[in-house]
Amino acid sequence: MRPPLLNEQSKPGLQAVAFPVTNDPVDLPAEHRRQTPAPLPEVAEVDVVRHFTILSKDNFSVDTHFYPLGSCTMKYNPKVNEYVSALPGFAQLHPLQPASHAQGAMRLIFELEQMLGEICGMDAFTLQPAAGAHGELTGMLIARAAHLARGKPRRKVLVPSSAHGTNPASARLAGFQIVTVPGAPDGLLHPDQVAPLIDEDTAAIMLTNPNTLGVFEEHILEIARMAHEKGALLYYDGANLNALLGLCRPGDMGFDIVHVNLHKTFSTPHGGGGPGAGPVGVKKHLAPFLPSPRAQQNPDGSFSWQHNLPQSIGKMRAFHGNFSVLARAYAYIRALGWEGLRAASRAAIIHANYIKKQLEDKFPAYTNRPCMHECVLMANHLKEAGLTVRDIAKRILDYGYHAPTIAWPIHDCLMIEPTETESKETLDAFISAMRKVAREIETESYTLQHAPHHMPIQRVDEVKAARELRLRD
Amino acid sequence: MDFVPNSEAEFAAMLQASGVSSFDDLVSCIPAKLKEFRSRLPAPLTEMELVMEMEKLAASNRTSRQVLSFLGAGIYDHFIPPAVDALASRGEFVTAYTPYQAEASQGTLTAIYEYQSYLCAITGMEVSNASLYDGASAVAEAGFLSLQANSNRPRIVHAASLHPEYLATLQTYLAGQKAEFVSAPLKDGVLDLDALAGLVNPRTCALIVQSPNFHGCLEPMAQAADIAHRHGAFFVACVNPISLGLIRPPGEYNADFAVGEGQPLGCPMSFGGPGFGFLTSTKKLVHKISGRIVGQTVDENNQRSFCLTLQAREQHIRREKATSNICSNQALMALRACIHLALLGKRGFQQVAQLNHQRAHAAAAAICGLRGFSLAFKQPFFNEFTIRCPVPSADLLARLEKENLIPGLAVADPNAKSSNLLLVCVTETKTSDDIQRLVKALAAFSTP
Ligand SMILES: Cc1ncc(COP(=O)(O)O)c(C=O)c1O
């Protein structure tokens, strides 16, 4: 039996939290008054606590399970960051208090911008964007504004076919036409693929490096040269930055604009889908276009907001970003320093290559090159067995592991990102589970088709969900 | 410090098993010159040092515990029942990913479904998504959806009383679209309906009105909605969710989108984020809205289950044809709101709204009893109101800062060079002692 919803446990008159209202009449014209009370549940506190505690146990999470979800960097989220980000000195701060009341928070913002600049090789950062895609939109609006300021608006943005869906969606929201760069069999972007597509109307090229196939774009310097020669900007989707900490920096590769996902590389928890943060860094020539306001340090060492930014694109959201997420990332970087960051990327790369090598005979790698922090493996021969890559994903859940990312960036693939925070024992156990699944593909297709079998529920009917659309009680 | 649970011996073993002799072999694909960079970061800290450093930073802020603050204007100081933190801080929620694998995510999915149900309940709307980034970007998303759904209608009319940061966000988001923005003027703090009727036309895709508006006044939402609909434009209502325990909800005046900032529902102020944006709409528009949506279905055993649905709207399927670029949202904050609303329940949700209204009106009456102070607008309000002071509001703030009192936000006066206007917010957390202290402090400025 599945747990009942709270609405189904509702009993008239119950209330977990009450407020000391008086019976004074409320002076409010009828046209502004709610006619019928909102139909919220009427339950006791214990009902609420049991309900959500029971629900929480139906989740996989990094705290409970290995989560080798490619592109998502599901690394361990240190508990100390939860504690420090929720300190009352931060949690109870109102964003419109005068700067003199918020010097600690502003120092944190200012220093985090500086540290991200050092890590990425960029000159200036904004912490306003709330997630990666929000950062992409910010970056694309900066590109748009920069070309306009040069007096030559440009219409096109080049996006590789392997790019994450947010890349083309963000560029289009910023008003650009998308030109898709096809993929090459070796998984790399080649200058001769870019050459016929780039021209004086190209505003930017959006790249992920390492790319979503887990390999380092070796021709990046040449591609940067080509872009800049045409006056186009190079945009870095930092979703895969966890491979590069202390190894190399997007700024040095020639990227003009980068976003980083603090909820990936900098260990802030994913929260079941958010909140994250997607700070955007730019080279000096683009700094005037960053969103407003910007944190600045005054000659006396104090911090203030700079609002007078005539070339700024404007505001991407209200106030100063997902501050408590920023505080977690700040704490993470301060704890690790360069040594720790370098150790993290090194371990992430070794782990991914280890898994790739141990599984290659069963699930061949998409390319023979060494991978970076994640590997893309192919599930071949599924059709013959009447299976899809989704069946594999569902079966992996039965073994107690979250599924890898599947069917992206190419069909029938498994994108595995172990991260640095897993022990060799965990990796070995996962490898052995994957090998069992490989055997099951050959001999037990029925088991896979109906997987999972050991989860709180059996496979869900997604078609019914979309057809019948029950989106609320 | 790092969080890597393997020894060097294990790394050596893994490298060997991978067929390479050193880590450098794995990264030889990176051009050598990229590896030679110089940059500086502060030295690493042990956990104890980190905690001390962060506590020092936090302590150098002056928060609502040390300062008596009547700031609102988008972020509000509300009571958060401890059960919200206790439940929403569970690692199983905090460290889960987006629930794409439904069978491993029923906890998150069920909670989002309940969140969607509660958001529909309080707004009176038919459908809700699973959250957006914040209130300002939710307004921008609604603007973009309106543009997309109504081709050849480039005009977006908004009330001049829209929160200035929301308006700025809307304009920034849509800078690359062929949109024209028209600001509808106010009369005594709310929309001038006659003027509005002349601004909304068949080229208008959306009319965006916030209520309570930036000045705290309740807007004539029903009349504004009628004007929008008469011309086939969408009516976008931006509302404060906590007000809806008392104030007429968007569903009752036929809004097409009801959006807003969800922070008042169980999220700490946290210097302005994270809260969450909410977006609710009608069944008719469900295929056009942005963001993730959870639907109810069954599993192979015919048990009730939940999964993400209508994903064909989203960027991972539709790429540049998606209804929005959003991917990660503010799920954990939406969970907080869900728990918060469940704890308040039907009655508590009404009570907290009433208490906000009572305390704000008590404060306003007391302040207006002071000579020289008056309400700037003669309009109904919820928990925020604009006061005209006898002195420039900036001066007043500067003097009271020394007394650890922030009586409100100094806001611009379109009719004057230096403004005497103060936006005051009184939530349920302000006791009658707090209000007395405020009134006493303001009395020092009162005209003889
Ligand atoms: C490669 C890549 N780019 C962009 C994104 C979007 O980031 P966010 O979900 O933070 O908006 C993701 C997220 O999964 C990603 O993997």
What is the mean pLDDT of the segment spanning A180-205?
A: 96
pLDDT at A451 over 80: yes
What is the dotted CATH code of the domain comprising A79-335? Answer: 3.40.640.10
Report residue A23's pLDDT band, with 50, 70 and 90 as the boundaries. confident
Find the largest Cα–Cα distance for chain A.
77
DSSP labels for A102-141?
Answer: BHHHHHHHHHHHHHHHHHHT-SEEE---SSHHHHHHHHHH
| Beta pairing class for B405-406 and B384-388 | unpaired
Mean per-residue pLDDT of chain A: 97
Are A257 and A228 a contacting pair, CB within 8 Å?
A: no
Q: What does the alpha-carbon distance between residue A290 and residue A321 come to, in Å, rounded to a whole number? A: 14
pLDDT digits (tens, 9 = 90+) for B284-311: 999 999 999 999 999 999 999 999 999 9
Mean per-residue pLDDT of chain B: 97
What is the mean pLDDT of the segment spanning B320-346?
A: 96
Q: Give the residue among A7, A83, A52 at the shortest CA–CA distance from B87.
A: A52
pLDDT digits (tens, 9 = 90+) for B47-105: 999 999 999 999 999 987 899 999 999 999 999 999 999 999 999 999 999 999 999 99
Residue B16's Cβ-count burial label (10 Å; 0-12, 13-18, 19+) is exposed
pLDDT at B1 over 80: no
Say if the Cβ atoms of A84 and B58 lie within 8 Å: yes
pLDDT digits (tens, 9 = 90+) for B354-395: 999 999 999 999 999 999 999 999 999 999 999 999 999 999
Counting ligand 1 atoms within 8 A of each CB, the residue from A206, A211, A261 with the most, and so the one to mutate, is A261
Q: Where are the domains of chain A?
A: 6-56, 79-335, 347-466
Please identify among residues 9-48 of chain B the ones whose CB lies closer than 8 Å to any CB of chain A.
10-11, 13-15, 17-20, 23, 25-31, 34-35, 37, 39-47
Q: Give the residue among B83, B75, B64 at the shortest CA–CA distance from B335.
A: B83
Are B290 and A134 a contacting pair, CB within 8 Å?
A: no
Residues 6+ apart with CB under 8 A from B118: A40, B337, B338, B341, B342
Q: What does the alpha-carbon distance between residue A127 and residue A110 come to, in Å, rounded to a whole number? A: 9
pLDDT digits (tens, 9 = 90+) for A210-233: 999 999 999 999 999 999 999 999
Residue type, position A251, single letter:
G
pLDDT digits (tens, 9 = 90+) for A139-183: 999 999 999 999 999 999 999 999 999 999 999 999 999 999 998
pLDDT at B400 over 90: yes
Say if the Cβ atoms of B96 and A60 lie within 8 Å: yes
A347-466 falls under which CATH superfamily?
A: Aspartate Aminotransferase, domain 1 (3.90.1150.10)
What is the mean pLDDT of the segment spanning B127-136?
A: 98
Question: Which phi and psi (to 5°) does residue B135 adopt?
Answer: -60, -40
Residue type, position B382, single letter:
F
DSSP labels for A211-250?
Answer: -TTS---TTHHHHHHHHHHTT-EEEEEETTGGGTTTT--H
Are A312 and A289 a contacting pair, CB within 8 Å?
A: yes
Are A267 and A81 a contacting pair, CB within 8 Å?
A: yes
Please identify among residues 186-205 of chain B the ones whose CB lies closer than 8 Å to any CB of chain A.
none
Task: Show residues of chain A in contact with B39, CB under 8 Å.
Answer: 118-119, 121, 249, 338
The residues with which B237 forms a beta bridge, in sequence order, are B209, B258
pLDDT at A1 over 90: no
Q: What does the alpha-carbon distance between residue A315 and residue B336 come to, in Å, rounded to a whole number? A: 26
pLDDT at B122 over 90: yes
Q: Give the residue among B62, B169, B428, B217 at the shortest CA–CA distance from A104.
A: B62
What is the mean pLDDT of the segment spanning A250-270?
A: 98
Hey, what domains does chain B have and what are their CATH numbers? 68-78+345-443 (3.90.1150.10), 82-340 (3.40.640.10)
Note the ipTM here. Answer: 0.98
Report residue A77's pLDDT band, with 50, 70 and 90 as the boundaries. very high
Q: What does the alpha-carbon distance between residue A305 and residue A53 come to, in Å, rounded to a whole number? A: 42
Would you state the pLDDT for residue B417?
84
Shortest Cα distance, chain A CAs vs residue B249, angstroms:
6
Q: What six digits make up the tokens of B11?
A: 């790394």
Would you state the pLDDT for residue B415?
80
Are B407 and B424 a contacting pair, CB within 8 Å?
A: yes
Looking at chain A, the whole-number percentage of residues with pLDDT higher than 70 is 100
A324 touches B at CB < 8 Å: yes
Are B336 and B83 a contacting pair, CB within 8 Å?
A: no
Q: What does the alpha-carbon distance between residue A322 and residue A128 come to, in Å, rounded to a whole number? A: 7
**For residue A293, cis peptide bond before it (omega within 30 degrees of 0):** yes
Please identify among residues 174-233 of chain A the ones whose CB lies closer than 8 Å to any CB of chain B.
174-176, 178, 215-216, 218, 220-221
Which residue reads 């028209």 in tokens?
A: B182
Instruction: Write out residues with Cβ below 6 Å of ligand 1.
Output: A 71-72, 131-133, 164, 166, 208, 212, 237, 239, 261, 276, 278; B 327-328
- Whether this model's pTM surpasses 0.95: yes
Which of helix, strand or coil describes residue A441? Answer: helix
pLDDT digits (tens, 9 = 90+) for A80-114: 999 999 999 999 999 999 999 999 999 999 999 99
